[in-house]
Amino acid sequence: NAGVTQTPKFQVLKTGQSMTLQCAQDMNHEYMSWYRQDPGMGLRLIHYSVGAGITDQGEVPNGYNVSRSTTEDFPLRLLSAAPSQTSVYFCASSYSAGRSDTQYFGPGTRLTVL
């Protein structure tokens, strides 16, 4: 049981480049989400999904797209990277959208945009 996996672990991009951060879970969880973590800012929700085919915006969605074609996968796409998107990105999953459910986090992707 791998839990929540994220790839890559580290990434450096130039301004304007695009890329996809991968996230997968093997726990058959319905709810998945993406957060970014910045110094002094805590974790902020980017996008979330309550099930396959359903996604919605969180607190800071601009510049990011998501899709949920399967229960297992929830990729995050940066369309045109900007230095302000330099951050550590965490994917999380939980059994349901119940807000007292345990959130299982992946190990994170550290992204630097030059």
Partner 1 sequence: TQLLEQSPQFLSIQEGENLTVYCNSSSVFSSLQWYRQEPGEGPVLLVTVVTGGEVKKLKRLTFQFGDARKDSSLHITAAQPGDTGLYLCAGAYSGGGADGLTFGKGTHLIIQP
DSSP per-residue codes, 35-87: EEEETTTEEEEEEEEEETTEEEE-SS-TTEEE--SSSSB--EEESS--GGG-E
Q: Is 52 in the site for partner 1 (CB under 8 A)?
A: no
**Footprint of partner 1 on 70-89 (CB under 8 A):** none
Q: Is 26 in the site for partner 1 (CB under 8 A)?
A: no
Binding-site member from 43, 63, 65, 73 for partner 1 (CB under 8 A)? 43
Binding-site member from 45, 63, 75, 82 for partner 1 (CB under 8 A)? 45
Task: Choose the stretch contacting partner 1; rule: CB under 8 A; options: 16-24, 63-71, 78-86, 92-100.
Answer: 92-100
Residues 6+ apart with CB under 8 A from 8: 21, 22, 109
Residues 6+ apart with CB under 8 A from 96: 29, 30, 31
The footprint of partner 1 (CB under 8 A) covers 4, 31, 33, 35, 40-45, 48, 50, 56, 58-59, 90, 92, 97, 99-100, 102-108
